[in-house]
Amino acid sequence: MANKDAPFGLRPVGELGSNIQNAGTTQYRIASGYGTAIYKGDLVILVTATGTLNVAAGTSTDIVGVFNGCFYNDPTTQKPTWKNYYPGSISPSVGNIDAFVYDDPNKLFEIQAEGSLTYAAAVGKNIDTQYTAGATINGQSKVELQDESPTAATKQLRIIGPSQDPENSDLSSANSNWIVRINESVYQRAAGV
């Protein structure tokens, strides 16, 4: 049966090993006026000059984690606003844009593959993501695993294994879902950014 082509970015599903999964996030900032949207499930990076977050491109390194929403004072209504995505170009007149990120380097995520991957060729290997802007109607990311061969070379994500999603578990066709962890985590390297 063919898999359902419905990318959703990265969604947390557990922790490496038997660690407790608490779904905790850490608060960061997005620069006032940052012009690019960040969707729930997008990878984010740290801008070293400002200490703020940007959305990660498909080959970005030093990943902070996975975006899970933001809080700011709406510049038009002046009301405190929570969104599960950052729409871009927000400049609050009061306060900051606070972003919440799944940044535990041992957190596991589920993500859809753009192409097809086989178990033997994928597990334990690394792969980058393919960035596509998410959906403004629900704020959900559309990031997928790139349609490339997994490799031992350094890439954004490490493939742990196939997902148990019954609608997307056919490994012989495109769009299967996989469990991954962030391989190029900023919190897994000895040097700072």
Same domain, 115 and 133: yes
Same domain, 118 and 154: yes
Mean of the pLDDT values across residues 33-59?
A: 94
Q: Report the number of distinct structural domains present in the chain.
A: 2
- In percent, the amount of the chain with pLDDT more than 90 equals 73
C-alpha to C-alpha distance for 80 and 72, rounded to whole angstroms: 6
Instruction: Note down the domain range covering 177.
Output: 11-15+105-185
Per-residue confidence at 38, pLDDT binned at 50, 70, 90?
Answer: very high
Residue where the block lists tokens 């490490």 = 158
Cα-Cα-Cα-Cα dihedral sign, residues 33, 34, 39, 45: negative
Q: Which of 67, 102, 137 is the last residue of a domain?
A: 102
Yes or no: say if 182 and 105 are a contact pair by the CB < 8 Å rule: yes
- The answer to whether position 2 is within a domain reads no
pTM above 0.95, yes or no: no
Q: Which of 102, 131, 154 is the last residue of a domain?
A: 102
Same domain, 114 and 176: yes
Whether the pLDDT of residue 23 is over 90: the answer is no
Q: Which of 49, 74, 102 is the last residue of a domain?
A: 102
Task: Report pLDDT digits (tens) over 105-164.
Answer: 999 999 999 988 888 889 999 999 999 999 999 999 999 999 888 888 999 999 999 998
Same domain, 181 and 109: yes
- The answer to whether position 67 is within a domain reads yes
Same domain, 90 and 120: no
Residue 83, classified by CB atoms within 10 Å of its CB into exposed (0-12), middle (13-18) or buried (19+), is middle
Same domain, 88 and 160: no
For all residues of the chain together, what is the average pLDDT?
Answer: 92
86: number of Cβ within 10 Å: 25
Q: From the CA atom positions of the chain, what is the Rg in Å?
A: 17
Higher-pLDDT residue of 2, 158: 158
Per-residue confidence at 49, pLDDT binned at 50, 70, 90?
Answer: confident
Yes or no: say if 133 and 40 are a contact pair by the CB < 8 Å rule: no
- The answer to whether position 89 is within a domain reads yes
Whether the pLDDT of residue 37 is over 90: the answer is yes
Same domain, 66 and 123: no
pLDDT for the residue numbered 1: 63
Same domain, 156 and 114: yes
Same domain, 177 and 126: yes
C-alpha to C-alpha distance for 45 and 126, rounded to whole angstroms: 18
Same domain, 122 and 60: no
